[in-house]
Amino acid sequence: MQLSTQRLLLRTWKAEDRVAFAAMNSDARVMEHFPALLTSAQSDALAQRIELALCESGYGLWALEVPGVAEFIGFAGLSVPRQALPCMPCVEVGWRLAQPYWGYGYASEAARASLEFAFERAGLEEVVSFTALGNHRSRAVMERIGMGNSGEDFDHPAVPSGHAARRHCLYRISRNHWLRSGERAIVTIS
């Protein structure tokens, strides 16, 4: 299953995506708010986990393509956190884009499509998102798509204590809140 929006294709992953994905995961600007850069092997393993989750549940972290512009710019979509977090059980909306594609509204457009899928297709009642307190670009995406800061800051268990990215904020949006916003981003689902 793939979703198209005005400018984007949210699709399943291709073997060819891995090289660009590894480059992005080894870029210090992209990984500024994560504990470490990923090696190529770690990046491939992450892509494999993402593909498996997409395959198993019919939704997940889709590969992002900008038709006519770039075959792969990163990922966005829905995921179930692997670590034990205070917000669990929950489904997260998340995003990671290669740096040349920041500043075009692509992450927010893909995130809006992901929320629409979550509430209209997957039948979820709530979606959360979380990030390191200092990740202002990611927080701006959350706010742009109508999520609210819950005030439930927490220490992410996968980030070593003492690391600047350990303290996280948690944003939430309910199905009812999303319905009231009237936002729609998906053009087709095929």
Ligand X SMILES: CC(C)(COP(=O)(O)OP(=O)(O)OC[C@H]1O[C@@H](n2cnc3c(N)ncnc32)[C@H](O)[C@@H]1OP(=O)(O)O)[C@@H](O)C(=O)NCCC(=O)NCCS
Which residues in this chain contact ligand X in the complex, by CB under 6 A? 30, 33, 94-97, 102-108, 131, 135, 137-138, 141
- 157 vs 176, beta carbon nearer ligand X: 157
- Indicate the DSSP class of residue 132: E
- 155 vs 176, beta carbon nearer ligand X: 155
The set of residues, in sequence order, having a beta carbon less than 8 Å from that of 131 and lying 6+ positions away, is 33, 138, 139, 142, 168, 169
Rounded to a whole number of angstroms, the minimum distance from the CB of residue 27 to ligand X is 9
Rounded to a whole number of angstroms, the minimum distance from the CB of residue 179 to ligand X is 22
**For the CA atoms of the chain, what is the radius of gyration?**
16
3-class secondary-structure state, position 143: helix
Rounded to a whole number of angstroms, the minimum distance from the CB of residue 7 to ligand X is 8
Rounded to a whole number of angstroms, the minimum distance from the CB of residue 61 to ligand X is 11
Structural contact between residues 84 and 78, judged by C-beta atoms closer than 8 angstroms: no
Q: What share of the chain is helix, strand, coil (3-state, %, to 5)?
A: 35, 25, 40
- 114 vs 131, beta carbon nearer ligand X: 131
- 4 vs 108, beta carbon nearer ligand X: 108
Structural contact between residues 32 and 39, judged by C-beta atoms closer than 8 angstroms: no
Rounded to a whole number of angstroms, the minimum distance from the CB of residue 131 to ligand X is 4
- 124 vs 128, beta carbon nearer ligand X: 128
Residue 141 has phi, psi (to 5 degrees) of -60, -45
Rounded to a whole number of angstroms, the minimum distance from the CB of residue 56 to ligand X is 22
- 30 vs 118, beta carbon nearer ligand X: 30
First to last CA, the chain: 6
CB burial of residue 89 (10 Å; 0-12, 13-18, 19+): exposed
